[in-house]
Chains A and B, each alone.
Chain A
């Protein structure tokens, strides 16, 4: 049974490497979402469900079209709708005449979770499967590292596109690296490759912008219209602390000695938003304060249309921005977001940041 999964930014590589580690070579890899994907998803989803649902559904339909008969979804309980995506896909796909398997990994029903997990693992035993999963989460750290370096080298690179080429190459290398010892050597390789192969303008002092917001809107370039690359093209370093790593990287989660950045952010958000309400609402607010203190220049807050938790943080962010003097641009994205309007707003924001920096410099000279 060919295994398929939807496209989720760089997390696609992680899924691929976990599946390959579990001896599943019958993979149908998803394509990057295109206009057709969005159309396909919107046609079959309900009217005002959030945008990630539509696009992931479109991506799933494309994978099934190409022959996948086993697709993965997750079920969990949260304030967000994300937890009920998979059961709804199941209904929709059944109505469309899909006869294959939809494996819903439900963490709250442990026996069911492991039974389903077993279906995905091929012929491995439990320990081997766990090991494969572990290698997967370790690799996720390095995918994140590649992304971080890509969008920091990308801002100052001399020949445009060289960083992107290096990143693509490295991502493939990480996917195909087998064995823990080899995997552990990767970070050095990644750093050295970037240093050697990307030529950067040493004198440049780029602006630094943080990207925050809803998970899918941040990690999926197709929905946020490559906002990180757009910032890079304007000569701005972009970085996002939001990745899938936080959920699947158990090693990081269980490490009590590490102060997790999102815990700090949540603490800082307390005066504005005291309690958990799903999504990244508290983190978006906390990170505005956290990165201001770290000396970043601005923050772009992305969220999909009708996302419940992010609307709350979006409504509070103007006040935080005023209190801490941190420029914040809130952008709502959905399948109809126009490229030109988006570009203009990002450019205007970067202009604003530049002017702000120049003024600050003048004041210092005086």
Chain B
């Protein structure tokens, strides 16, 4: 059985369901690289180009971890899946950069899909997926079934991860919990925080230095930007004078703007990655907007390979203490009990 390697970094956190299902259905073994460890980080910093962003550097480490175990590497050149908004250019160049930087890699499968700039539609998606399938089996029915199942799996994944407006309002009224249940802290008000950032930062405990668990430990209930309902985000983005055209950045900025307007959370934590291009734009817009309407505090944390865990923890603790002490009218209105 042939083995296909999928690095657990960047877009994997968005499309993991689709990719693993697809390769499983084709009768191949999808090998996902292990979770980020110190060794992987060390390898990536050593081998990746200096100026790349931290997340892209980690991708190199994951590829190196997979290199000797697999027959193929699956690194799609993904532009965007929206008809105008674009993703990050690094996603498109990544496969080719890896090919030229690391000479002894197994064959890289790199389908190119870009709805915004190349005008790829459903048929193109199907054709490209079919071409990938032909590498493993000659049976067309098997490939088509694999594609359909993969797309379905991805849709299901979206359904489980995205919440609708009703659930959001329920969460805002503290009637439900969306993520890990927060620890009960005695004599302290339970806080509600919006944790925004790229999905590959939020879901990778190593690169975000375990921020999810540390928030949970502090008795903080949080919502992530990935979960935000799409229509709310689009509504918020329409309020900007000019449309922001970075696909994943819209999600982040939209979530920040929504909570700044609705004031239903105690604070917002924005996770940024050093030298991430789109982040530098959206982060600046968020900071400027937050300065104009400073009721909900915004903490912007920048991560890179040199970020120390202790420093980050101190900052998060200080932020949480600040929120706890705040006696604004607005924050006291927030209901504080969650019954588990």
A315 engages B280 (CB within 8 Å):
no
Q: A46-B287, A316-B96 are in contact. Are A305 and B51 (CB under 8 A)?
A: yes
- Report the separation of the CA atoms of residues A92 and B85 in the bound assembly, to the nearest whole angstrom: 24
Q: Restricting to A68-100, which residues have a CB under 8 Å from any CB of B?
A: 75, 77-81, 83-84, 86-88, 90-92, 95
B89 cross-chain contacts in A, Cβ below 8 A: 79-80, 277-279, 281, 308-309, 312
A275 cross-chain contacts in B, Cβ below 8 A: 77, 79, 92, 112, 114, 118
A78 cross-chain contacts in B, Cβ below 8 A: 86, 245
Q: A274-B112, A306-B51, A312-B97 are in contact. Are A49 and B280 (CB under 8 A)?
A: yes
B280 cross-chain contacts in A, Cβ below 8 A: 46-50, 81, 306
A315 engages B90 (CB within 8 Å):
no
Nearest-Cβ distance from residue A101 to partner chain B, whole angstroms: 13
B52 engages A81 (CB within 8 Å):
no
Nearest-Cβ distance from residue A96 to partner chain B, whole angstroms: 11
Q: Which of A47, A50, A81, A281 contacts B93 (CB 8 A)?
A: A281
Nearest-Cβ distance from residue A90 to partner chain B, whole angstroms: 7
A226 interfacial by beta-carbon distance below 8 Å: no
A272 cross-chain contacts in B, Cβ below 8 A: 96, 100
B277 interfacial by beta-carbon distance below 8 Å: yes
A284 interfacial by beta-carbon distance below 8 Å: no
Q: Restricting to A267-292, which residues have a CB under 8 Å from any CB of B?
A: 272-279, 281
B275 engages A306 (CB within 8 Å):
yes
A106 interfacial by beta-carbon distance below 8 Å: yes
A92 cross-chain contacts in B, Cβ below 8 A: 284, 288
A315 engages B49 (CB within 8 Å):
yes
- Tell me the dominant secondary structure on chain B's binding face: mixed
Nearest-Cβ distance from residue B90 to partner chain A, whole angstroms: 6
B-side interface residues, number (CB < 8 Å)? 44
- Report the separation of the CA atoms of residues A305 and B51 in the bound assembly, to the nearest whole angstrom: 8
B49 cross-chain contacts in A, Cβ below 8 A: 311, 314-315
Q: A272-B96, A275-B92, A275-B118 are in contact. Are A77 and B86 (CB under 8 A)?
A: yes
- Report the separation of the CA atoms of residues A318 and B103 in the bound assembly, to the nearest whole angstrom: 12
B52 engages A95 (CB within 8 Å):
no
- Report the separation of the CA atoms of residues A319 and B52 in the bound assembly, to the nearest whole angstrom: 18
Interface-located stretch among B13-21, B220-228, B236-244: B236-244
Interface residues on A, range: 35 or more
A56 interfacial by beta-carbon distance below 8 Å: no
B114 cross-chain contacts in A, Cβ below 8 A: 275-276
A104: nearest residue on chain B (CB-CB)?
A: B242
- Report the separation of the CA atoms of residues A318 and B97 in the bound assembly, to the nearest whole angstrom: 11
A87 engages B241 (CB within 8 Å):
yes
- Report the separation of the CA atoms of residues A314 and B101 in the bound assembly, to the nearest whole angstrom: 11
A175 interfacial by beta-carbon distance below 8 Å: no
B117 interfacial by beta-carbon distance below 8 Å: yes
- Report the separation of the CA atoms of residues A106 and B84 in the bound assembly, to the nearest whole angstrom: 14
Q: Restricting to B170-198, which residues have a CB under 8 Å from any CB of A?
A: none
B242 engages A46 (CB within 8 Å):
no
Nearest-Cβ distance from residue B135 to partner chain A, whole angstroms: 18
A3 interfacial by beta-carbon distance below 8 Å: no
B106 interfacial by beta-carbon distance below 8 Å: no
B80: nearest residue on chain A (CB-CB)?
A: A79
Nearest-Cβ distance from residue B53 to partner chain A, whole angstroms: 8
Q: Which of B86, B97, B240, B302 contacts A79 (CB 8 A)?
A: B86
Q: Which of B51, B100, B302 contacts A311 (CB 8 A)?
A: B51
B118 engages A276 (CB within 8 Å):
yes
B245 engages A83 (CB within 8 Å):
yes
B117 engages A276 (CB within 8 Å):
yes
A104 cross-chain contacts in B, Cβ below 8 A: 241-242
Q: List 26 A-B contacts (CB under 8 A).
A: A45-B284, A48-B302, A49-B281, A50-B280, A75-B242, A77-B84, A77-B86, A77-B245, A79-B87, A84-B244, A91-B284, A91-B285, A274-B96, A275-B92, A275-B114, A276-B117, A277-B92, A281-B89, A308-B88, A308-B89, A308-B277, A309-B89, A313-B93, A315-B97, A315-B100, A332-B51
Query: 5 closest Cβ contacts across the A-B interface?
Result: A312-B93, A46-B284, A277-B89, A319-B100, A79-B89
Q: Which residues of B contact A (CB under 8 A)?
A: 49, 51-52, 77, 79, 84-90, 92-93, 96-97, 100-101, 112, 114, 116-118, 240-242, 244-245, 274-278, 280-281, 283-285, 287-289, 291-292, 302
**Beyond A48-B302, A77-B85, A277-B92, 12 extra complex contacts between A and B, CB < 8 Å:** A49-B281, A50-B277, A75-B242, A90-B241, A91-B288, A273-B93, A276-B92, A277-B79, A306-B277, A308-B89, A312-B96, A315-B93
